[in-house]
Structure 1
């Protein structure tokens, strides 16, 4: 049976053991959120040996060449020597610049990183609390034009990171883990094509960034944004303000109780339309199915799924 070595510790695990389970079973407390290779919270570096990786495409080539792997996607088939991601050593420090409650449940968190973070609209980054809790969040800020990094945190459910976020004060420091790309983005060649943006809850965060990036780049085609929310949209005022400035932008705010009815009545602008969808897995699946039946090819439907971690974890 293979051995795993971490620092001065070495222990034996069963052939084919999941690497994340093997590390946490030994008390290393490697964080995780989705266990699907999306959140990147469970990064470990393989210093010797190679695990069996179910999703080698989930990490960019440069990071893989450095030995990084997603522990949740790896099976231990030979001896390994690993190092877990250390936010104190490898994370980017960021200072809390602003904390604003947008309603009772959504916290708008703005961080000022120690050095500029290069990213594109639609990407995610890991946020690490002082207590070692890591969760992935989409960037809602506008690349290049805004010095701070903005995140929209849904604190409606109890959880370790939500609890830590509620206790933050201006001047506190968080650590940023690796930046990774999602499917959501804006491409300059889409400039004249219709765009349809569909968001549920804080799935609006990356689309708020993508929307403003499209407008910043002078998008000329029509843009429709539909936000499905509990009660009033937490970004109602800025969305309506933006729609007032741009004739090609329309915004529709829909109570979640009306979601199925609205999706059933959804029509596409043309077969050239690109659709960007973000929210829970069920929401994304419902939207993708409806859009495909309405005539948009699967290659023109880009989506990110927000995966909720177990409460208290």
Structure 2
């Protein structure tokens, strides 16, 4: 049976066992969120030996050459020595710029990195508060905001949101890996209708993408639909309405869970050239996608990103 070594600890694990489970069960806490190879919170480094990797395409060639692996996607098949991601050693230094509430359930976290971070609207970043990590989508825009902005859904308890509630301006925080998800704005869409459909804090990356489209003077119509549990859940209603008042080609629709089925059933495409971006909980994304396909949207004109919880990943 293979031996797993981390720092000065070494123990035997089952051959073919999941690396993330072996580490956590062995008392080496490695954070994770999605268990699907998307969030990159479980990044570890193989310094001796290797593992069987089911998602080699999830990391860049340079990362793989340096031994980095996503623990959730790997099986232990031989003796291997692991360095876990150390936010103090491997992460980037940053400080909390501001913490405030956008309504009762959404905590807005603004962070100033010690060194400028090059990113694009729609990307997400792993945040480390002490030894607790979680990926969050960026709601900020590099050309307009001096800070990195994140919207944290605090309706349910969690290690990171519990830690984030205790943060104050000036507190240190570490930044992990920056990732590009499916969502982005493409200048080639300049004259096409653009639909942005978000559920809950899935609005965060689409808010950045919306502002990027407007910054690039998007000429096609833009339709943004935000689905929330109730009226109070439309946590960006004021800035969205302000943007709609300023840009005649932007239409903002705020739907509650009770209103959504009837409203989504009425979706109709004005043009087969429509480009749609969807983000939120997997169930909501699936519902959005189904209605868009029924409305005639070509499948290659839909980009989707899902916000997975640990419970979601366990069911899938």
Return the alpha-carbon distance in structure 2 between the equivalents of residues 248 and 255 of structure 1: 23
Q: Distance in 2 between matches of 1:289 and 1:248?
A: 25
For 1:269, the equivalent position in structure 2 comes to 270
Q: Which residue of 2 aligns with 1:282?
A: 283
TM-score by length of 2: 0.95
Residue pairs, 1:158-173, within 5 angstroms: 158-173=157-172
Deviation of 1:62 (Å): 2.5
**Distance in 2 separating the partners of 1:206 and 1:20:** 28
Deviation at 1:55, TM superposition (A): 1.4
RMSD across aligned C-alpha pairs, in angstroms?
Answer: 1.4
CA contact (8 A) 1:159 1:310 kept: no
Secondary structure of 2:259's partner?
Answer: helix
Residue 105 of structure 2 is matched in structure 1 by 105
Q: Do the aligned partners of 1:128 and 1:175 also contact (CA within 8 Å) in 2?
A: yes
Find the counterpart in structure 2 of residue 58 from structure 1: 58
Q: Secondary structure of 1:156's partner? A: coil
State the partner residue of 1:245. Answer: 246
Which residue of the partner structure matches residue 199 of structure 1? Answer: 198
Q: How does 1:299-310 map to 2 (within 5 A)?
A: 299-309=300-310
C-alpha distance in 1 between matches for 2:256 and 2:46: 47
C-alpha separation between the residues in 2 aligned to 1:145 and 1:228? Answer: 26
**Which moves more between the two structures, 233-242 or 76-85?**
76-85
Query: Structure 2 stretches of 5 or more lacking a match?
Result: none
Give SS of 2:185's match. coil
2:140 corresponding residue in structure 1 = 141
Instruction: Give the structure 1 partner of residue 153 of structure 2.
Output: 154
Written as runs of structure 1 = structure 2, the 5 A alignment for 1:16-27 is: 16-27=16-27
Partner of 2:84: 84
Shift of 1:309: 3.3
1:183 partner SS: coil
1:84 Cα deviation after fit: 0.7
In the alignment, what sits opposite 1:178?
177
Q: TM-score, normalised by structure 1?
A: 0.96
Distance 1:12 1:92 in 2: 33
4+ residue segments displaced more than 6 Å: none
- The alignment partner of 1:4 has SS state of strand
